Amino acid sequence: MKNLLVSALLMAGSMTASAGVAVTVGQPGFYGQIVLGDAYPAPQVIYPQPVIIQPPPVAVVQPPLYLHVPPGHMKKWGRYCGNYGACGRQVYFVQDSWYQNVYVPRYNAHAGRPGGPDRWDHHDDHRHGGGPGKGGGPGNGRGHGHGKD
């Protein structure tokens, strides 16, 4: 009986974990890195100097990140920088009004290709191939038509 209960709980957890929500640029609730490319004017930022939580372990020169984040994440950046992979990076927080009124309309006008037809924003999920669950391999054995040859 104990094994049955544990199995049922594990299955329920895996079912809820597989239900994903796709949020794309311009939709309410989209936060993260924005890729500027040549199609965008300089963003309006919150602070004139980039924010960096911890210096990188090795002196590697990386371009700063431009991020659109909720106000609570910006205020407690040390707590949330790991969610964006940005703790050791220089970060500029873009103003929400610039994001909504400049970036999103231009992003949509360029069909989500900020640097041209060969560059895709890393947040869009239109990638093909690339491993299990991405439509390009044998998958993870959970169905959905992949890897059933």
pLDDT, tens digit, 9 for 90 and up, residues 101-136: 999 998 888 765 555 444 444 444 444 444 455 444
- Please give the backbone phi and psi of residue 145, each rounded to the nearest 5 degrees, phi first: 80, 0
CB 35 within 8 A of CB 112: no
Residues 32-54 have pLDDT tens digits of 787 777 777 888 888 788 888 77
pLDDT given at position 24: 62
Between the CA of residue 75 and those of 8, 28, 49, 78, 79, what are the distances in Å?
41, 20, 15, 9, 9
Return d(Cα 143, Cα 149) in angstroms, integer.
Answer: 11
